[in-house]
Amino acid sequence: MDARQLKIEAARVALDHVETGMKLGVGSGSTAEEFVRLLAERVESGLRIEAVPTSERTAGLCVELGVPIFSLDEVPQLDLTIDGADEVDGDLQVIKGGGGALLREKIVACASDTVIVIADESKVVDVLGRFPLPIEVNVFGLTATRNAIEQAAGSLGLSGPVDLRKDRDVPFETDGGHHILDASFGRIPDAEALARALQDIPGVVEHGLFLDIVSVAIIAGSSGVRTMKNEGSQNR
Ligand code: 5RP
């Protein structure tokens, strides 16, 4: 099965968790987009949902395919969010933000009763950190913020390049008008400590560590789709 087919399989299983009448957060990235395509088919055949997209790109796809969208201000509490992931560990701690939508994704996830991530097997790791950690930062004082991130990471024994994400030759701009620093620290043994340290830096808007937020991960591999659960997540 090719990579796209695995994404579709994970999305198809996630769709089973969607019920009519739900207020539904809809994630970003290529796997989430497969979910939107399947969701649109169900909407066309009568499923009623109110979708809150986590990015302008996802919003555009929803509109194009006829999925009714609302802002999080119109629908501030959600039953379920389904989103992709860049990395998932065995405790369902997750890195997100590879597509640059981590801030809205985290706001939407934290406004949801349940968060499900969908991914292919390649995203599952023993310890987070193989994927460079996306950190959304204010454009003001970027160098000072980067220095503070390096210092905070260093105090936890972490080091590595912290690169400004570029889109062609210019800095990538998020939907919120911020930049992204991708931090290649390698293995992050204490993700909670790093998350706390990053939150304390004023120029950091949000980071891609989604800790105790995800309650179900639907993982598609060549031998089938498996579901991992975290009963201890904040959002259940
Ligand atoms: C966007 C995200 C995506 O969900 C994540 O990057 C996974 O994307 P894909 O499904 O394309 O691998 O966090 O900010």
Q: Whose CA is nearest to atom 4 of ligand 1?
A: 84
User: Between 30-44 and 56-65, two packed helices, what is the crossing angle to 10 degrees?
Assistant: 30
- Gap between the Cα atoms of 147 and 183, Å rounded: 12
CB atoms within 10 A of CB 40: 18
Q: Is 122 in the pocket of ligand 1 (CB under 6 A)?
A: no
Strand partners, 81: 25, 115
Mutate to test the pocket of ligand 1, among 4, 9, 30 (most ligand atoms within 8 A of CB): 30
CB atoms within 10 A of CB 26: 27
- The pLDDT tens digits of the residues spanning 198-219 come to 999 999 999 999 999 999 999 9
Across the beta sheet with 179-183, what order do the strands follow? 162-164, 179-183, 133-137, 204-207
- Gap between the Cα atoms of 100 and 211, Å rounded: 18
Architecture of domain 133-205: 2-Layer Sandwich (3.30)
- Gap between the Cα atoms of 123 and 212, Å rounded: 17
Q: Is 33 in the pocket of ligand 1 (CB under 6 A)?
A: no
Q: Which atom of ligand 1 is nearest to the CA of 31?
A: 10
Domain spans of the chain?
Answer: 3-124+211-222, 133-205
Residue-by-residue pLDDT tens, the chain, 236 positions: 799 999 999 999 999 999 999 999 999 999 999 999 999 999 999 999 999 999 999 999 999 999 999 999 999 999 999 999 999 999 999 999 999 999 999 999 999 999 999 999 999 999 999 999 999 999 999 999 999 999 999 999 999 999 999 999 999 999 999 999 999 999 999 999 999 999 999 999 999 999 999 999 999 999 999 999 987 666 64
Span from the CA of 100 to the centroid of ligand 1 (angstroms): 8
DSSP 160-223: --EEEPEETTEE---TTS-EEEEE-----S-HHHHHHHHHTSTTEEEESEE-S---EEEEEETT
Q: What is the pTM of this model?
A: 0.96
Architecture of domain 3-124+211-222: 3-Layer(aba) Sandwich (3.40)
Q: What is the CA radius of gyration of the chain?
A: 17
Active site residue 19: no
Q: Is 234 in the pocket of ligand 1 (CB under 6 A)?
A: no
